[in-house]
Each structure stands twice: as C-alpha cells, then as structure tokens.
Structure 1
Amino acid sequence: MLLTIAFESDIPLYQQIKNQIITGIAQGKLKPGESLPSVRQLAADIGINFHTVNKVYQQLKQENRVVIHRKSGVIINPDLKLQADEAYRESLTETLEVLFAEAHLRGGTREESQQFIERIYHTFLQEGSK
C-alpha cells in the first residue's frame, strides 16, 4: 500500500492516512478482504508513531470499513456495504458547507466550485478505473 504523507501539511497525519485508505477502497485499489499492513509495519514504513496508525485503524473499524482479527490482522471489510443514509448526508452537508464557505471567503464563485467538483469527480472515476 502506497501512501503519500505530507508532514508539513495542516492536515493531521492520521487524517491523511485515513483519507487515503478510504479513497483507495472507493477507487477499488484496496479490495474487500485485502490485508493492510500491521500497525507497527505501516508506522515504520511511514516513520511515525504506531499509536497514530492504531488510531486510524480503530476509526476505520468503528466505521465498518475494516475488520481487525488477532491472527489475520487488519483487512478491508469483505462485507463492506455502506449506505448513504440520512446521517451520512447530514455529515456530508456540514463538511461541504465549511468548504464552500472557505471558498466564498477567498473569492471563489459558484461556477468555480462546480468546475472543481466536476474535475475532482472526473479524476476520481478515472483513477478508479485503472
């Protein structure tokens, strides 16, 4: 599993790792039933504290994205079936409101926001088909 970590970023390390794992699952780069590196191995590969990786794996477990077994380690949930329920939609709305507010404060227009969304969505679909 290849992760790109920006140590100088304002985004916390655990969030960068979590975001990349979720994106990998969504794009099909990480398949249901596929093993992830152990907590200690991933921490050593990245050069970070293993507690940071453990935090990511525990959050992904709570979100039902991974399953953790004592013997087989951390695997992408083989029965992963996430639904866009009301709670998800509310969370998505809150996240997007903050992003659009920030864009507005920086002089962004509705058209620019729509172009960003289209470009990101298009790139996401292209990456997922590789």
Structure 2
Amino acid sequence: MLINLDFESQEPIYQQLIEQIIEGIARKDLLPGEGLPSVRSLASDIGINLHTVNKAYQQLKHEGFILIHRQKGVVVNPDGVPKADVTYMTQLEKKLKPLIAESVCREVDEESFMKLCNDIYKSYRGG
C-alpha cells in the first residue's frame, strides 16, 4: 500500500495516516490478517517521527481496524472491522453534519451531494 502524506496540509500527519490505512482496508488493498510495517519501519520509510506512526496505530487499534501483537507485529484485524453500532452511527452523524451544513451554505444541491457520496461509496465497494 502506498502512503501519500501532504506535509503542507492543515490536517495532522497521524490523521492522514489513519485515513489512508482505513481507505486501504475499505478498498481491500489491505486484507484481514495482512501485516503492516512496524512503527519504526513505517516512520523510516515515509520520513516521519515514530511517535506519529505510533499515535496512528494506537487509534486504529482502539477503533478495531488493526491488532498489535508482540510476536506477529501489526496486522489488519483478522476478524474484520467491527460492524457499525449505535455509537458509531452517532459519531457518523456528528461528522456528517458540518459537511452537509457547509455544502448547503455553498449551495450544493442535494442531488449533487448524494451523487458524490454514492460515487465515493461505490469506489470503495469496487463499483
């Protein structure tokens, strides 16, 4: 999996890393049980601080995307990502509200917004 970080972005590097790993899992570029580079190795490969990678990995672990084993290293959760529950749906709504509000303010019509959402969703489902 290729990691592309934007060092000029306002978004923190660890958050970019988290999002790219999640996108890799969604696209099936990273499969359940597949190994990821060690914290030290990934930090060295992409030229960032190992604490940044560790922060991203810890958050991914907390959210159930990866497991960190002492012997096996870092792997995509072999059981798959935990299914959406009420807590996740509440968080999703909280994240979507400002995006939708800004789109309304910028006069993006509902049809265009929904088409964009559908196109992105299909791109992760292989459509």
TM-score normalised by length of structure 2: 0.91
Query: Are 1:33 and 2:40 an aligned pair?
Result: no
**Offset of 1:16 from its aligned partner?**
0.9
Task: Assess if the C-alpha contact under 8 Å between 2:18 and 2:56 holds in 1.
Answer: yes
- Specify the alignment match of 1:87 in structure 2: 87
Q: Secondary structure at the match of 1:95?
A: helix
For 1:37 and 1:46, locate their aligned partners in 2 and report how far apart those are by CA, in whole Å. 11
Q: Which moved more, 1:49-58 or 1:61-70?
A: 61-70
For 1:24 and 1:92, locate their aligned partners in 2 and report how far apart those are by CA, in whole Å. 19
TM-aligned CA distance change 1:119 to 1:80, over 3 Å: closer
- Specify the alignment match of 1:20 in structure 2: 20
Q: Secondary structure at the match of 2:88?
A: helix
Q: Secondary structure at the match of 1:74?
A: strand
**Residue ranges of structure 1 left out of the alignment (5+ in a row):** none
Cα deviations by residue, 1:94-126 (Å, 9 ceiling, x for unpaired): 111111112122222212211211221222223
For 1:86 and 1:61, locate their aligned partners in 2 and report how far apart those are by CA, in whole Å. 20
- Specify the alignment match of 1:101 in structure 2: 101
For 1:47 and 1:102, locate their aligned partners in 2 and report how far apart those are by CA, in whole Å. 34
Map residues 1-130 of structure 1 onto 2, 5 A cutoff. 1-126=1-126
For 1:34 and 1:107, locate their aligned partners in 2 and report how far apart those are by CA, in whole Å. 43
**Offset of 1:81 from its aligned partner?**
4.5
Cα deviations by residue, 1:66-116 (Å, 9 ceiling, x for unpaired): 111122211111122411111111111111111111212222221221121
The AA in structure 1 aligned to 2:2 is: L
The AA in structure 2 aligned to 1:65 is: F
TM-score normalised by length of structure 1: 0.89
**Residue ranges of structure 2 left out of the alignment (5+ in a row):** none
What is the root-mean-square deviation of aligned Cα atoms in Å?
1.5
